[in-house]
Amino acid sequence: MTVLRKCARPLLASTFITGGYSALRNSEALAPAAEPVVRRITEQVPSLEKDPEQFVRINAGVQIGAGVLLALGRFPRLASLALAATLVPTTLAAHAYWTVDDPDERSQQKIHFYKNLSLLGGLAIAAADTHGKPSLAYRSQQAAGRGRRGARRAGRKAQAAAARSVGDLGSAAHTVRKHLPVG
């Protein structure tokens, strides 16, 4: 892991670990703000938890767990995706600035909303980071290409071997004809 990754991942993860811890401790107070988002999500996915307070706790637990994994560099791509998945409902529930009437509060919520969008961008970059190695899709395509090229190469070798065999048979037949009595 490069020095940049060793420094950047814990920095990115820190806001999720501290925010998740705070949300876990104050889930009862955060549940009313989360309720409209939880309702919309559970309408789309009925099997999810419908209790807003429990939803806040689960979201906080994912943020803490995935944040620690990202900070330690363990499963960083998966951790980044999990954090991104928790960031969307958190942002919609806590920073819906368009619903706030007070201009000062609206301004503060707008700042937090766009900060979270920036975090989402950082998580997208972290989720796509392959440590300088080609992606799995690229490596799969290359392996498939090597398979086709290898098959073509083997076919050409077999064709050349067959041509040599035919050539050897032709010269053997010529030798036999030369030594047979004509008559």
List, for residues 117-147, the tens digit of each pLDDT value.
999 999 999 999 887 777 667 777 777 776 6
Question: Measuring CA to CA, how many Å separate 90 from each of 20, 43, 62, 172?
Answer: 10, 17, 12, 83
Q: What pLDDT is recorded for position 46?
A: 86
Mean pLDDT, rounded, for 30-55: 89
Average pLDDT over residues 156-181: 66
pLDDT, residue 2, reads: 81
pLDDT exceeds 60 at position 171: yes
What mean pLDDT is reported for the chain?
A: 85
Which pLDDT value is given to residue 118? 95
Task: Report the SS3 class of residue 173.
Answer: helix
* The pLDDT value given to residue 178: 65
Q: Please report which confidence band the pLDDT of residue 59 belongs to, taking 50, 70 and 90 as the band edges.
A: very high
Question: 135: closest CA among 77, 59, 51, 66?
Answer: 77
Residue 72 is encoded by which pair of tokens? 């330690």
Residue 162 pLDDT:
67
pTM of the model: 0.70
Q: Could you read off the pLDDT of 88-107 as tens digits, one per residue?
A: 999 998 898 999 999 999 99
Q: Measure the CA–CA gap between 77 and 116, rounded to whole angstroms.
A: 18
Are residues 107 and 82 in contact, defined by beta-carbon separation less than 8 angstroms? no
Confidence of residue 68 (pLDDT cuts 50, 70, 90): very high
Instruction: Report yes or no: 73 and 6 within 8 Å, Cβ to Cβ.
Output: yes
Looking at residue 123, its pLDDT comes to: 95
- Using the predicted structure, report yes or no on whether residue 172 has a pLDDT greater than 60: no
177 against 29, higher pLDDT: 29
